[in-house]
Amino acid sequence: MLRGFRSAAANVGLEIEHLLPVAGCDPGTVNAAFPRLSSPPYAMALVAKTGTLTSTDGGITVLAGFLNTAQGEVAFCVAAPHAAGRIRLARHTEESFVVDLLNRRGGAVPRTCGPPLAAPSEDASIVTAEVASRLTFASRLTGPDPPATMRSSRGTLAETPRTVSR
């Protein structure tokens, strides 16, 4: 799924760092919840998305993304089930897993920070399945760089702006 996400981003001319937070670069949950991954020597090696259910089904926290390591990039997903009431402990456990993975693969290799991520109410849009299928079709016709008429100032198909969060 992560590699598919990266491929879809590339099809519209975007790097993954332009869409997801990079630890040590972008403010938000990744930096706040995973301080070791946001500080040297691990800063900028992680681009990821968090997910949290505080009580549904016993609670769960998830961290999924890409790690730059000395042995190459790793796509990963780590989850801590039954985390209700223990979210901080669950995230610390996830962070320890990722730090151990980085160390086992020769250490962190920093990536370039992407441009600042848009705030949820800033230059945000929802891409519907219909729009996505047009993008995919256009990409097949034009290659990975869609025509300028299909891109907004941030490189994505322009739609009616609506507030969304990442």
Q: What tens digit of pLDDT does each residue of 52-62 get?
A: 998 888 899 99
> Is 99 inside a domain boundary?
yes
Same domain, 161 and 84: no
* 97: helix, strand or coil: helix
Same domain, 75 and 154: no
Same domain, 25 and 93: yes
* pLDDT digits (tens), the chain, 166 positions: 898 999 999 999 999 988 899 999 988 889 999 999 999 999 999 999 999 998 888 899 999 999 999 999 999 999 999 999 999 999 999 999 999 999 999 999 999 888 876 665 655 566 666 666 665 554 454 455 544 444 333 343 333 333 334 4
> Is 76 inside a domain boundary?
yes
CA angle 108, 113, 115 (to 5 degrees): 165
The tally of domains found in the chain comes to 2
Last residue of a domain, one of 70, 104, 138: 104
Where is 142: in which H helix or E strand?
A: helix 129-142
Same domain, 9 and 64: yes
Report the distance separating Cα 25 and Cα 43, nearest Å: 8
C-alpha distances in Å from residue 26, one per residue of 22, 115, 116, 120, 139: 6, 9, 7, 14, 29
Query: What residue numbers bound the domain in which 143 lies?
Result: 118-166
What does pTM read for this prediction?
0.70
35 CB burial (10 A radius; 0-12, 13-18, 19+): middle
- State the alpha helices, DSSP H only, in 40-121: 87-104
Same domain, 44 and 100: yes
Same domain, 7 and 71: yes
Same domain, 84 and 137: no
Same domain, 85 and 8: yes
Report the distance separating Cα 25 and Cα 113, nearest Å: 6
Query: Residue 122 carries which side chain, given as an amino acid letter?
Result: E
> Is 40 inside a domain boundary?
yes
CB contact set of 146 (below 8 Å; sequence gap of 6+): 12, 13, 135, 138, 139, 157
Report the distance separating Cα 26 and Cα 24, nearest Å: 6
C-alpha distances in Å from residue 101, one per residue of 10, 78, 92, 105, 150: 26, 11, 14, 6, 39
Same domain, 39 and 69: yes
